[in-house]
């Protein structure tokens, strides 16, 4: 079975107990430095309440990885909070999720952007390897910061 892309918005979160369980498990497995401060359920609800959604890697009836997506006014998708289940790390699941998102963004003519001001150097190197490039335009980062990378769909 291949890894597929699944989106979870507020409606799907509310309707599907299995997806709720799996999405919570992903972020409960986060490395200590990345654990949500106010608890996983609150973290997820916070993002969904802000009209953001999660893109998830789905395999064998389970979610293995997730990233938060915030759609900007210019239709670009700002990605944040990427997390992979502990038992599937170092197997390419996170990279596969990012590749699936890149394919979807290209189909829809969207840019993918990631604020890098607070990312560890290893994460920034991975993004560079995946084709993300520093952006020097006037568009601020998703949180108002200026430092970000972009994967252009063209």
Which residues share a beta bridge with 149? Answer: 114, 134
Percentage with pLDDT > 70 across the chain: 91
Domain chopping of the chain, boundaries: 4-114
**pTM for this model (two decimals):** 0.86
| 121, pLDDT greater than 50 | yes
* Segment 59-69, tens digit of pLDDT: 999 999 999 99
Cα–Cα distance between 137 and 128 in angstroms, integer?
18
pLDDT at position 148, please? 86
pLDDT at position 1, please? 58
Extract the tokens encoding 9.
């918005």
Residues 6+ apart with CB under 8 A from 103: none
pLDDT at position 139, please? 56
pLDDT confidence band for 144 (50 / 70 / 90): very low
**Contact in structure between 22 and 62 (CB atoms under 8 Å):** yes
Among residues 66, 64, 72, the alpha carbon closest in space to that of 43 is found at: 66
Cα–Cα distance between 53 and 130 in angstroms, integer?
22
Extract the tokens encoding 21.
């369980």
Extract the tokens encoding 55.
């893109």
Domain 4-114 has CATH 3.40.630.30: yes
pLDDT confidence band for 138 (50 / 70 / 90): low
């Amino acid at each position: 079975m291949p890894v597929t892309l699944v989106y979870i918005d507020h409606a799907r979160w509310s309707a599907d107990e299995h997806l709720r369980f799996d999405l919570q498990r992903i972020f409960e497995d986060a490395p200590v430095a990345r654990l949500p401060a106010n608890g996983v359920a609150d973290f997820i609800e916070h993002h969904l309440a802000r009209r953001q959604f999660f893109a998830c890697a789905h395999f064998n009836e389970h979610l293995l990885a997730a990233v938060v997506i915030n759609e900007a006014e210019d239709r670009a998708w700002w990605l944040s909070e990427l997390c992979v289940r502990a038992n599937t790390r170092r197997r390419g699941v996170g990279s596969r999720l990012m590749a699936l998102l890149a394919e979807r963004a290209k189909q829809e003519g969207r840019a993918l952007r990631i604020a890098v001001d607070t990312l560890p150097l290893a994460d920034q190197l991975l993004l560079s390897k995946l084709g993300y490039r520093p952006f020097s335009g006037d568009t601020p980062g998703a949180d108002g910061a200026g430092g970000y990378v972009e994967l252009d769909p063209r």
